Structure 1
């Protein structure tokens, strides 16, 4: 895949995002395409310069650290989209602009302390990861909808405590839908996350809750139609690891 093919893929994805957004009465400009660069070397990521991609997603701290050290932060915003352990919180705060995978009150409190200890670091933007499908293999607050009163009350209590932390800016929710051949099979997960976000706007109104990070290469159009403001697209942009663009 050469640079022209890479740009063509990005253009096609943006066009598909625009069409999907218009179906939900929005502009495609309201949706951020995060290019997921995990497993791809820095030489491949560097090819995204000049394509208009401003947001990069990584799953693992150590892999991201190597790339960011080589490539720098500008002109990109780096997103942590993989699970984060509390003992890696300081590294995550140093490396990333947005953390999508805050899945416990304990982790949020740890991040808040880390940010507080860094006088040069402004408030950290975070998303709360929600396990709307109830998959045992997935991280996230276990909340399968608004109908389970006990789970909802526990989640709401945690969210209120997180929203009160002075050094974090919780600005939305993230979910990882189950793998499915047909995007329609996972559309209910996206719809459920949007409903949860809308409920948070009512119950925790002092935060914006604008962002919905949901949808990947095989289902991002359905996610956008259901309200996604961030989609995490890797394979559809960069290809499989063995076919990644090379310098």
Structure 2
């Protein structure tokens, strides 16, 4: 990855070529532009170039930004979601990427039923087994998904994972391959698990090769954040 920012259209071209190279339909792979910590005016160029999927991870920041941004954007919530924030985001996001516990899924179900809506979710799996990462462990997944799919008011669209921050391509690829294996094992006609949210600015090309359908890209589009995550480094 280059150190400087790259345009949305340039990244789309890279993704198209990468998908074709591994015999995939480029239309299967979409960019979720991770606009967290950036004011709308700093990311609106991405919208102007055609992006309609934006990802946010802080509830209050996201709700403010939604008021400023065009109304045809499809917002994804990609951050760790606390149960006490669920009520604030139902009907505000088209997809929740990071449902990481049965309790959280139950809360989303409860509030969705109260709001007479169905909330689309992805189930986060900790395929790296890093203790600092959230998500179901692989060996736990079967028992949890069997309960989650029975919940009313939620619709499981697929799976999500995060690879370790490492330059070891083998380790990164293994995490993505594990998610794909889980998708293959548990997908069915009644539960297609069609979405795989995996791959960020540092590893999105590997993710494409391993079957990603949603790429969460921030740094490569908008520039680096500082360690606090709230100031853009020009």
Which residue does the alignment assign to 2:20? 22
Which residue does the alignment assign to 1:141? 136
Q: Distance in 2 between matches of 1:79 and 1:219?
A: 20
Match 1:126 to one of 121, 127, 136: 121
Residue 24 of structure 1 deviates from its aligned partner by 3.0
**TM-score of the aligned structures, taking structure 2 as reference length:** 0.90
Classify the secondary structure of the residue corresponding to 1:33.
strand
Residue 181 of structure 1 deviates from its aligned partner by 2.4
Which residue does the alignment assign to 1:212? 196
Residue 103 of structure 1 deviates from its aligned partner by 0.6
Change (3 A) 1:157 1:182: closer
Residue 49 of structure 1 deviates from its aligned partner by 2.7
Q: Distance in 2 between matches of 1:47 and 1:22?
A: 27
Which residue does the alignment assign to 1:223? 207
Classify the secondary structure of the residue corresponding to 1:171.
strand
CA contact (8 A) 2:8 2:46 kept: no
Unpaired runs of 5+ residues, structure 1, are: 144-150
Residue 243 of structure 1 deviates from its aligned partner by 4.4
Match 1:58 to one of 53, 56, 59: 56
Change (3 A) 1:11 1:48: closer
Residue 185 of structure 1 deviates from its aligned partner by 3.3
Q: Distance in 2 between matches of 1:200 and 1:142?
A: 15
Q: Distance in 1 between matches of 2:197 and 2:38?
A: 22
Give the structure with the higher percent helix: 1
Match 1:81 to one of 78, 83, 93: 78
**TM-score of the aligned structures, taking structure 1 as reference length:** 0.86
CA contact (8 A) 2:9 2:49 kept: no
Alignment of 1:32-51 (within 5 A): 32-51=30-49
Alignment of 1:84-123 (within 5 A): 84-119=81-116, 122-123=117-118
Unpaired runs of 5+ residues, structure 2, are: 226-231
